[in-house]
Structures are given as structure tokens and as C-alpha cells.
Amino acid sequence: MPATASAPNDPNDPSALTARALLLDMDGTLVNSDAVVERVWRRWALRHGLDPDAALKVVHGRQGYATMALLLPDRPMELNHAENRELLAEETADLDGVVPVPGAPAFLAAVATLPHALVTSADAALAAARMGAAGLPMPELRVTAECVSASKPDPEGFLKGAAELGFAPADCVVFEDSEAGVAAGRAAGMRVVGVGPRAAAYAPDLHVPDLTRLRVEVTADGVIRLAATA
């Protein structure tokens, strides 16, 4: 049976979270890829006669085909999947402006020996390209677009990550930046650390402006404690 965290929150600090395993989104959480996302999706929206600003309000956190389905609801899904493959190739080739979220290198070093997984809407090639461009180590366990049948906000990716790590959902904390990602974490029955300005609007269990403002501690029995710093 998977281990169980001692409590969902630290009794000595109700604003802190405790967990046994961490599930990490990539874009906006570990890697700042906003510049690429905006370039690619603005071009796509204009090609389809859509408002680029409106498109960018729903693109974050989702797989591309799911964004297309929201914006072009009458289009056959097979066309969305085909065009999504084209956009993934564009994004993988465009790494200009891809940088780590502040504090991401130190954060990943702090959790390197702890149970954690990357759970991203990117496919494996895009995840490798962006993590590499940002100079970040790739977690050993990765749940990428190819691993799931449904995009965030569906909880499938996070549930799969928890299962592969060997922990119950209640023992996991999700790190996310987007509305779709926060919703997916909650639907999975997990608590959520929101990273960055987008996440603040979705009332995560704990919010930090970036990863420089997060403290990670581990108790002798392996409980991970996460707290925001001033």
C-alpha cells in the first residue's frame, strides 16, 4: 500500500502543505515558454480568423487539440489532432525565449531525491526540447501527451503520475500555473501549489509568485513540507 502523508496541511502552519509525492507541470511552472506559445498560437488564430487574444486565454495548460475544439467547436476532431501535430513541431523547433521559471533549478535540485514526476500537456519531444533549452534536468518519471487519452482539465495525467509513483492521490501535491491544470489537480483529488500570476486567479491551496518563494523541507519519515516564503 502507498504511504500516507501525516496531514494535508502542517498543523503548525495552516498555510503550508505536506505530501509524499509531487506532480509537476512544465510550461509556466518550471519553464517559461510564453513567448513561443504566443507566437505559435497567434499565427494559428489569425489563420482561422479568430481573435488571438481570445485564443491565448484558453490555450495554457491544454493539449493543442483540446484548445482547438474549444475555439472551433464545429470542426471534426481528426482535423484538430492533425493540426495539433503541426503545431507541436513548430513549438519544438522554436526555442527562442524559453527560460526557466525563477527558482526552478534550485527547486528541482531540492526534490531530486524525492518522489516526483513531470505531468505535462507537451509531447515527449517538446518536453525534452523545452527542459533542455531552459537548462533543467528532466524528471525520471514523465507523463506526457502520448501517455494519456484526455487533456487537462481531465485528471488522467495526474492520476497516472500518482499511480506510477505508487502513492494515493491524497498524498500528492500538484504544481500548476493554468486554469486547466489547477482544475485537473483538483479533479484528481490532489492539493495544488499555484505558481505564477495566472495561477493566483484560481485559488490554489498555496500560491507563490515563482519558485524562489517556495521552501521545501523533508521530515525524517519522508513527509515533504511545502511553504511560501516572504
Q: Could you list the active site residues? A: 25, 27
> What is the side-by-side strand order in the sheet with 191-195?
142-143, 116-119, 21-24, 172-176, 191-195, 206-208
Q: Containing H/E element for 21?
A: strand 21-24
Contact in structure between 107 and 15 (CB atoms under 8 Å): no
Strands of 27-82, DSSP E? 31-32
Residue 118 φ/ψ, nearest 5 degrees: -90, 130
Name the nearest CA neighbour of 66 among 31, 98, 41, 101: 41
CA 123 – CA 63 distance, rounded (Å): 9
Residue 96 neighbours by CB distance under 10 Å: 9
Whole-Å CA distances, 89 to 30, 59, 86, 133? 21, 16, 5, 15
Is the Cα torsion angle 143, 144, 145, 151 positive or negative in sign? positive
For helices 52-59 and 64-71, the axis angle rounded to 10 degrees is 130
